[in-house]
Chain A
């Protein structure tokens, strides 16, 4: 509606302006012929005056006595002709003169137009001006909408908005203002200048620059040729590689691969001799490859090809071989390589293994012997206190080391047990590994013969062999355990024992331990013929085995009997035989339970709880209301009870409430009453920006503290919304700050900028 009106008024304005230029010439032309018939006009005037006397209210038209520029287009008087002025009348004299053709044309154009509306009054015009200006301004302002929205939604605003970039002055500028003052500085500058060293940015001396500039033609040609050659070579090489890549023959690729492997091996050997550190790195790479292989299932005979081969293997020798090969490859890849130290030559392998297999006991005990380890000592003493059957609490481990007794029921320091535990674990892991290897045994044995040249790998193989042996012996042990009668055996041969004693100046007390030592020995003495070794083992192992646990049990019981409430010694866990451990654990558990029972003999928690729950249920039940009035409608008094009928009549039974939430939860009491004290700390109504209670709960449940979050996350979660720098003036936002172009136009009023309009404007204002 307003827009419509606006449009109309604008149209009117424009029409008005269009006509504005017209009347001037028009009037000028008119005034010419007006001067002639002056007398006629006077006469007419007189007539008019007379006619106005008759009382009729005649409109008096303004008289124009002289021609002037200031003529209002609205008061063109048509006096003189006595009738309304018609355009045709005006045109009549014009017709004859040909010089006024343009005027004629204009007038004829005017003729076709309708009469112009009256211009709007001043208020209206101003209103329109205002509206137009407002719309324009609103449009200008709307460019700020995205900026404002962005700033309102920003996670963080850092003020001042404009980034003050630290002015980094180029070194030349700094130097130009700086003078060498101290003698040292002067000296340095002198030196620099003498050598014509560049002080500032270009780092080349003038000489260097000159030489750079002067590159002779021959040189340039040579360089170009060189480059050409290099490019050609590169392209040849690329083409070759592409060709080779395209070859489909498997055999070819196999051969290539093998060749590569061989080459690599040779290089590696060379490296080992020449540069051991690099070799070590290589080794690490191989180790990595091994790890990858272990992770993957590539050569595990589980692929499609392998499965098909497995079917064929029954009948086809070739397929069998292929499978074997595959497995062997897997084994080869998964074998762990050992670093051979340089000092060891032939024996290196065995010794290495020996070192590996000598348990940590050795070290620890040595440490023990060297200096008093507070941990060890404490555990020893504590044990001494514990054990009632101990012979001599004062005995130090070093002294006792020589006394190798066969008696089972003996004290053993806790430290030793720990060592045992570790040993056991180690052995277990070894066993696992050996089991793994066993599957691939035939292949590996074959390979050991084949690739005897690979020294590094052979070491490993030896290790696996040993492990295998060990495994076998263990198996034997297990089988013989049940049948072989209990025989007290002497210790292993002295020649085996002596180095042991030397190595560990500690008591070796239990038979198992000795047995283990023996085993280790047998690994040490690798040179011994194998059957002998095995014989030894088979002899030794079974007899020690069965009595050990028994003894342990005895000891356990003794301890348990005597100090009932003390904590368990860790020895129980450290034993090697799992079944017996379980038994022991059972017993322990029982003891434990017993202990707890005794400790809390007085209170029956469960019954108390049940009672409490029953009370809670009772309390929460709605109560019946008894409205009987004794003595109302019957006799009352002491000892008289209202009749049962009446009681029944006036008893209002409470309705059964909703079922309790903990009805089906026997171990829980749910309090359904509102807790007033907690209410102060609970939000009653959902706060504004949230639309669902779970949204709010989730925000509350996400902790923001550094206790629950990493430092980075904590910082991110606690960023303040507005950051201001202290002591910095924050200027109002500018168009340049947000990437807009600031208006280059001056804000000065339009009238100020074009003085032509200023005059008209002022005139207008004066007039109004």
Chain B
């Protein structure tokens, strides 16, 4: 006898374990879920608002230096360790998880101009105003031992910057010329000059490691090839470049932090036109560092703020500032691409989140899914005026805000003048120069 009854297969509704989620049978018939666009729009709006609500990027301030922090370095193997050099010649090593200083070294007399770690993380190098290059062990001395450098090299001139090779026991210093040193020797294995000027920073290319970039005070950026021991090319900009940083994912891209408030991203094979001009700062940009993903970089400026730029956007996506933070001299993006550190004039190192509203710690899978969904929604509806307005809203200190306004007016006036000049002169006699080309004075071969 067949009995017809309503029955369900228990496989469809019984959980295998108690920890499983309840299975929710869904009907995806679009007729049952109307108004998808308005609903998603509202969700996107809410997500954007919440992002602004939760945007609390400031994590910690590491204090202990007794003078302005002049340089920062990341430990290549350890995420929690950071090194900093101050203007009084003091080098400190910090632990980020505990947020305290674990070691203090009086390394130089006068400024610590540059600091860099060896690629293996066992030692680090400092250069200072006392014309010395010193190599230090990463681990502190034993109890009772004196703090002494492994090696000290006495130079003839002041070194203003140092960078270590990414693979080999070679480092480069800059001052009046770019010197390349073997770690084992006291003389440089080669020095490269091009004209006479003081070079403010030198950086090894992290991918094609034989390439170097430097920027000098006569407004130029010079590229060197270490293998052939020769400079390659030089680009002269409107104003002095303070430092450059190579993109860690794209071998030929680097970004220069300039005194004219802008940053310039160059393709080193075509120096006559920057790939992108990044402008938002209202004072000289002092330092720049790429995120390890190569998608964004952070810049520190004299205007007491740091900004985060996407590589392919000319405007910043984020600006960080606090009342107490003075001129930011150095900035670093941590190797896990989650945090940003900046050292500033008022002796503090600050730790920020790279994504202001990101939740720290382990996320559950549902949290992760919600985060991804919200991110996609924000992306999808980013062009909607209401959402755009909320997403772009940032509070700025009054000084920066008024500076921005002022510069906007100046820029508009300049533009207007140019337009007028073009309008009132013989067609073709006044060339129209794009914003990108405007700032490049010349490329010297």
Contact = CB atoms under 8 A, between A and B. Distances in A.
Interface of A: 2, 126-127, 129-131, 133-134, 136-138, 140-142, 144, 148, 151, 157, 159, 355-356, 358, 360, 363, 679-684, 687, 696, 699-701, 703-710, 714-715, 717-720, 722, 724-735, 745-752
A751 to B, nearest CB: 6
Interface stretch (B56-64, B123-131, B165-173, B434-442): B165-173
Contacts of A730: 248, 292-293, 335-337
B227 A745 contact: yes
Interface string B215-253: 000000001011111111100000000000000111111
Interface string B140-174: 00000000000000000000000001111010000
B393 interface: no
A729 B335 contact: yes
Top 7 A-B pairs, shortest CB-CB distance: A730-B292, A732-B206, A732-B248, A703-B36, A747-B210, A687-B383, A749-B229
B412 interface: no
Contact of B384 (A142, A682, A710): A682
Residue among B37, B40, B268 with most chain A CB within 10 A: B40
Contacts of B109: none
Interface string B185-199: 000011000000000
Residue among B40, B249, B338, B376 with most chain A CB within 10 A: B249
Contacts of B383: 683, 687, 696
Contacts of B335: 729-731
B55 interface: no
Nearest to A704: B376
A121 to B, nearest CB: 16
B445 A127 contact: yes
A506 B170 CA distance: 101
A352 to B, nearest CB: 10
Contact of A708 (B28, B209, B227, B251): B28
B190 A752 contact: yes
A140 B253 CA distance: 14
A703 B338 CA distance: 30
A722 B373 contact: no
Contacts of A745: 227
Given A355-B1, A747-B210, A134 B227 contact: no
Given A159-B292, A719-B372, A724-B337, A750 B43 contact: no
A657 to B, nearest CB: 29
A710 B227 contact: no
Residue among A715, A717, A722, A748 with most chain B CB within 10 A: A748
A110 to B, nearest CB: 33
Given A141-B208, A159-B292, A724-B293, A130 B232 contact: yes
A159 B293 contact: yes
Contacts of B338: 724, 726
B97 to A, nearest CB: 10
Given A355-B1, A750-B228, A717 B386 contact: no
B270 to A, nearest CB: 9
A126 B289 CA distance: 32
A187 B98 CA distance: 48
Contact of B293 (A358, A704, A722, A729): A722
B14 interface: no
Contact of A703 (B3, B40, B189): B40
Contacts of A700: 37, 380-381
Contacts of B261: none
Contacts of B336: 724-730
Given A133-B225, A148-B253, A701-B37, 8 more contacts: A137-B208, A140-B208, A360-B3, A683-B383, A705-B43, A717-B376, A732-B166, A747-B209
Nearest to A354: B1
Interface in B343-383: 362, 369, 372-373, 375-377, 380-381, 383
B30 interface: yes
Contacts of A715: 369
Interface string B285-311: 000000011110000000000000000
A141 B210 CA distance: 11
Contact of A680 (B166, B167, B377, B385): B385
Contacts of B385: 679-684
7 contacts: A133-B230, A157-B293, A363-B3, A714-B373, A746-B168, A748-B170, A751-B189
A2 B445 CA distance: 11
B380 A752 contact: no
B170 A747 contact: yes
B318 interface: no
Given A127-B445, A134-B232, A750 B376 contact: no
Contacts of A747: 165, 167-168, 170, 209-210, 226-227
B39 interface: yes
B424 interface: no
A747 B228 CA distance: 9
Given A681-B386, A751-B190, A720 B207 contact: no
B323 interface: no
B251 A680 contact: no
Contacts of B208: 137, 140-141, 144
Contacts of A151: 249-250, 294
A750 B30 CA distance: 69
B418 interface: no
A704 B166 contact: no
B232 A144 contact: no
A749 B226 contact: yes
Interface in B300-346: 335-338
A749 B189 contact: yes
Contacts of A133: 225, 228, 230, 232
B207 A707 contact: no
B72 to A, nearest CB: 17
